Amino acid sequence: MRTMKSWDSGDDAYKRKLQRIKARSMWSPFQFATAGRSSKWKLQSFKFISILFILAAFYTIFSSPISCRQKAGTTSHTWISGGPDPRYVSNLQTNWEEVSESLNHLLRNDQIKAVGLLNFGKDEIRQWRQLIPNADHTVLHLDYADTNLTWESLYPEWIDEEQYAELPKCPSLPTPRPPERRLDLVAVKLPCCDEENWSRDVARLHLQMAASSLAASCKGLYPVHVLFVTRWFPIPNLFTCKDVVARGRDTWLYKPNLSELREKLRLPIGSCELALPLLGIEDEFPEKQQREAYATILHSASLYVCGAIVAARSIRSSGSTRDLVILVDNSITPTQRSALSSAGWLVRTIARIRNPHAEPDSYNEWNYSKFRLWQLTDYHKIIFIDSDLLILRNIDFLFRLPEISATGNDGPLFNSGVMHLWAGDDGPARERKARLLGADPPELYVVHYLGNKPWACFRDYDCNWNVGIMREFASDEAHERWWRVHDEMEEGLREHCLLGTKQKAQLMWERREAEKGNYSDGHWRVPIKDPRLRRCIDQDCSWQGKLRHWESKGPPHAAAIAFPGAKKKRPLTIL
């Protein structure tokens, strides 16, 4: 009771105090006007301070580097305290003869009636007016980017896509104030940077984005030219080579396609807005699943037909129902296409594309044909897989990722984008690798077979054991798992995994060489029970005869490597 009473009395006192404060605040405005001598002094002080603010504002306006004159259509260049932002300053001397030559065609045809100038000094602006005296010149207004904005904040190496630590904060760049009239030419002077960082400079990016925005703001297809004064070339993503009208040492004149430029400007600046939560987007529309597919490609290598058939079977065995699309060229026969279709592939014919940098008959001579994948526009998403992959677990979750995923830049460290497990062959490492590859149910999602492919070996063991430079690819567990999927296929599909006479002789040659080298693994001792050894698919079925010929003459170079993938020395990779 006592505690309650003291609380009540305290509460009453608080209420009375609050009422006095309210009453005082209600009357204070009127007291300001009717107060005595002290209040009059305060009013005079307030008037004096107001007059000082007004005078300071007028001084700032008239002392700016370029005064505002509505008739000329100019606006004041932006300055920060202490002068121009050093990030935007260019020490490059403008070559006016070069600028005049670049604009000669436009000037001769009287195509420049309005010029927008961005990031030029006072003397340079006067020079522009002398160069094109009959045009209206607008000094464009652009606020500087925040001093804390760096290239690393625009394009961070690591992005918290799952937003575990914090919500992403997307930096922004100030946009230019649009001029009152349509521009025929936007001229921009880009700042000078050192040779190493000129392409990753915030001020240069900002000015080029501003120029793009000004050009794209012109309605319709009205032609607008953009001229850059810079030693280093502008961003090719925005201003392409096909848009170049004239070019000098320090002058670049473009006539951009405004429709394309507007589309590019719709993209976000930096990578922040491109990084969506990995698992935050569910399949809201089930019909999207009908527009998702796994895809592979076969060109000039019918030897990979068997691998593609088994890869399709492994995808279906993992539980995926997505479409399977395979692009093939004319080297794939009608019989092989029929088998691919029976395995579940939707077969599409393409014209292969040669790699201009590849040697003739090399393994990568036609690998540019993969660009044909971008023509599968009837699909919403595509996951490309090589035909020598084996899918052990369902990887449909990859379709849920909103964007391309990649590993970070580890600087001088090795970074392949694919984990490489245990290059060494010490005991514990090999045991762990064997356990992962042989786990049932599988622990791995995907196995990529490098070196000699499983279907190019006898099924009794991994034939990479018999070739010195390929022993690092060898794995009996991975080899056995591939054959397990093979054996689940129909007999007709297995026919495409038979061995040719030349390949049989090659495998026997390698066994003998391994025996001569007395390889410690001893796989060359394993008896060959593969029934394919007794099946012939060639006119010449005597692999023994080829072997005897090679013993006297030596094997041909082409036979030394049975599959193109073996030319590139890479370890077996797993996911």
Tell whether 109 is covered by a domain: yes
Tell whether 561 is covered by a domain: no
Tell whether 427 is covered by a domain: no
3-state SS assignment for residue 326: strand
Contact between 327 and 370 under an 8 Å Cβ cutoff? The reply is no
User: What span, in angstroms and rounded, lies between the C-alpha atoms of 310 and 317?
Assistant: 10
Over residues 523-551, mean pLDDT:
94
- pLDDT tens sequence across 32-85: 333 444 444 445 555 566 666 666 655 544 443 333 233 333 333 443 333 588
- Across 81-93, b (16+ Cβ under 10 Å) vs e yields eeeebebbebeee
User: What span, in angstroms and rounded, lies between the C-alpha atoms of 561 and 538?
Assistant: 19
State residue 144 phi and psi, 5-degree precision.
Answer: -70, 155
Over residues 149-166, mean pLDDT:
76
Q: Any residues with CB less than 8 A from the CB of 186 and at least 6 apart, and which?
A: 115, 116, 118, 140, 211, 214, 215, 224, 225, 226, 227
User: What span, in angstroms and rounded, lies between the C-alpha atoms of 479 and 542?
Assistant: 27
User: Residue 100's domain is classified under what CATH number?
Assistant: 3.40.50
Tell whether 62 is covered by a domain: no
Q: How many domains does the chain have?
A: 1
Query: Given this model, what pLDDT does residue 55 score?
Result: 64
Over residues 489-497, mean pLDDT:
95
Tell whether 226 is covered by a domain: yes
Tell whether 70 is covered by a domain: no
For residue 504 the two structure tokens come to: 């049989």
pLDDT confidence bin for 408, thresholds 50/70/90 = low
Tell whether 102 is covered by a domain: yes
- pLDDT tens sequence across 451-474: 999 999 999 999 999 999 999 899
Contact between 411 and 476 under an 8 Å Cβ cutoff? The reply is no
Q: Report in angstroms the alpha-carbon separations of 567 from 358, 386, 469, 475.
A: 13, 16, 10, 18
User: What span, in angstroms and rounded, lies between the C-alpha atoms of 55 and 73?
Assistant: 25
Please count the residues of the chain.
575
Q: Any residues with CB less than 8 A from the CB of 300 and at least 6 apart, and which?
A: 329, 331, 352, 365, 366
Query: Given this model, what pLDDT does residue 409 score?
Result: 55
Does the pLDDT value for residue 1 go beyond 80? Answer: no
Over residues 280-288, mean pLDDT:
50
Using omega within 30 degrees of 0 as the cis cutoff, is the peptide bond preceding 441 cis?
yes
**For residues 223 and 283, which has the higher predicted lDDT (pLDDT)?**
223
Tell whether 188 is covered by a domain: yes
Q: Show the domain range for 225.
A: 86-156+171-265
User: What span, in angstroms and rounded, lies between the C-alpha atoms of 23 and 218?
Assistant: 59
